[in-house]
């Protein structure tokens, strides 16, 4: 698939508007219900989705 310059700019803006952080909890004492969670935090005006696993 070939994108023209404008399509590439739109695509890059779309891709970089999403920020994720995944935290792996390897604790053996917690249940899966305690380990798996999701929250949205703000960093300098940018939303970051944080996943705990």
Render pLDDT for 13-51 as a digit per residue (tens, 0 to 9): 555 566 778 888 888 898 989 889 999 888 778 788 888
pLDDT at 41: 87
pTM for this prediction? 0.56
pLDDT at 49: 85
Residue 11: pLDDT over 70: no
Separation between Cα atoms, residue 31 and residue 50, nearest integer Å: 19
- 15 touches 8 (CB < 8 A): no
pLDDT at 2: 73
Question: HSE-up of 8 (CA within 13 Å, CB side)?
Answer: 5
- 23 touches 51 (CB < 8 A): yes
């Amino acid at each position: 698939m070939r994108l023209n310059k404008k399509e590439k700019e739109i695509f890059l803006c779309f891709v970089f508007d999403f920020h994720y952080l995944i935290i792996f909890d390897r604790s053996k004492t917690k249940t899966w219900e305690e380990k798996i969670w999701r929250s949205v935090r703000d960093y300098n005006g940018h939303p970051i989705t944080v996943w705990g696993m």
